[in-house]
């Protein structure tokens, strides 16, 4: 699966994830990163991106972004229900990442 902007998905927990578009961040696992309306980030293949601290004190270069193949927050399927599709009507996403 490849994520698409302005599309609703379901994660492994069954929660709705609204993918807004490409994030302005470096690739993770060699894949472009997308951002969700909920504030989370996902690789193009739908893996949930976690940012974790590597060493103190905190500086931006001391964080790494990783994925976990087994995470229930990974995207499991696209939600094509009429409610999920119509949710995007009137939602502005350009320039918000």
Question: Mean pLDDT of successive 10-residue segments in the chain (97 residues)?
Answer: 96 97 93 95 97 70 83 97 94 71
On whether residue 45 sits in a domain, the answer given is yes
Three-state DSSP class for 61?
helix
Kindly state the DSSP code that residue 60 receives in the 8-state scheme.
G
pLDDT confidence of residue 87: 93
In a domain, 97, yes or no: no
Is residue 68 included in any domain, yes or no?
A: yes
Could you give the number of structural domains in the chain? Answer: 1
pLDDT at 61: 64
Between CA 26 and CA 12 the distance in angstroms is 25
Instruction: Identify the pLDDT of residue 35.
Output: 95
| The pLDDT value given to residue 70 | 92
What's the rounded Cα separation, in Å, for the pair 75 and 47?
A: 6
Structural domain span for residue 53: 7-83
Residue 89 falls inside a structural domain: no
In a domain, 90, yes or no: no
């Amino acid at each position: 699966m490849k994520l698409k902007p302005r599309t609703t998905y379901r994660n492994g927990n069954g929660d709705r994830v609204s993918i807004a578009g490409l994030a302005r961040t470096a690739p993770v696992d060699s894949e472009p990163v997308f951002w969700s309306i909920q504030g989370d980030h996902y690789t193009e293949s739908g893996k949930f991106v976690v940012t974790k601290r590597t060493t103190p004190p905190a500086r931006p270069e001391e964080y790494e972004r990783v994925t976990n193949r087994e995470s229930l927050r990974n995207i499991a399927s696209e939600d094509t229900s009429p409610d999920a599709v119509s949710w995007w009507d009137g939602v502005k996403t350009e320039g918000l990442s």
